[in-house]
Amino acid sequence: MQIAQNSVVAFHYTLTNEAGEVLDSSEGREPLTYLQGAGNIIPGLERQLLGRQTGDKLTVKVEPAEGYGEIQPQLVQEVPRASFQGVDDIAAGMQFQAQTQGGPLLVTVTKVEGDTVTVDGNHPLAGEVLNFEVSIENVREASGEEVEHGHVHGEGGHHH
């Protein structure tokens, strides 16, 4: 069966950046399972898996616009340390959920200087070209309930 809209796809992957550094991998774990067309994985990868089938192995290059987006400079801000009430030690790499006009936003502390904390609301992989080595392990038709809910149920998926 070929991957098509509303297929349930299980695949193994290794994700590297342009420098060849491994950023993530399913090695040693269960394959990643998703519902094709439901936006469960980044658009560039989902688009390039369309039409593939069990046993296919491929290399996929995803540009930032179809991955985690371009870096948005307006999401990098300096805020007063006092904004972090109840947190004594703030260090680069820490993540917090900020409340914005558009709803909650995960931000990462990138710098702490005196009473000023620089936070970045961009996804950590924003602006990165993503390289995937993919092995399609299984493709099946989604159940009506999976299509209705927009995600995979059962083995490798969501359990209600």
CATH number for the domain spanning 51: value is 3.10.50.40
- Tell me how far apart the alpha carbons of residues 148 and 152 are, in angstroms, rounded to a whole number: 10
Q: Do residues 143 and 100 share a domain?
A: no
Residue 106's CATH number: 2.40.10.330
Q: Where in the sequence is the domain holding 60, given as residue range(s)?
A: 7-68+127-149
Q: One digit per residue, pLDDT tens: the chain, 160 residues? A: 999 999 999 999 999 999 999 999 999 999 999 999 999 999 999 999 999 999 999 999 999 999 999 999 999 999 999 998 888 899 999 999 988 888 899 999 999 999 999 999 999 999 999 999 999 999 999 999 999 999 999 765 555 5
Is 1 a member of any domain? no
Is 155 a member of any domain? no
Q: Do residues 28 and 81 share a domain?
A: no
Q: Do residues 20 and 35 share a domain?
A: yes
In this structure, what DSSP letter does residue 75 have? Answer: G
Q: Do residues 131 and 116 share a domain?
A: no
Closest CA to 109 of 120, 123, 122, 98: 120
- The total of structural domains in the chain comes to 2
Overall size of the chain counted in residues: 160
Is 157 a member of any domain? no
Closest CA to 119 of 132, 129, 107, 136: 107
Q: Do residues 98 and 138 share a domain?
A: no
State the CB neighbour count (10 A cutoff) for residue 160: 6
Closest CA to 3 of 58, 49, 38: 49
Closest CA to 129 of 41, 36, 5, 45: 45
For residue 68, give both structure tokens. Answer: 């985690």
Q: Do residues 14 and 57 share a domain?
A: yes
Predicted local confidence at residue 156, as pLDDT:
56
Task: Please identify which residue in the block is written with the tokens 């439901």.
Answer: 38
Is 2 a member of any domain? no
Q: Do residues 145 and 78 share a domain?
A: no
- Tell me how far apart the alpha carbons of residues 142 and 152 are, in angstroms, rounded to a whole number: 8
Closest CA to 8 of 44, 43, 54: 54
CA distances from 111 to 70, 81, 121 (A): 21, 11, 13
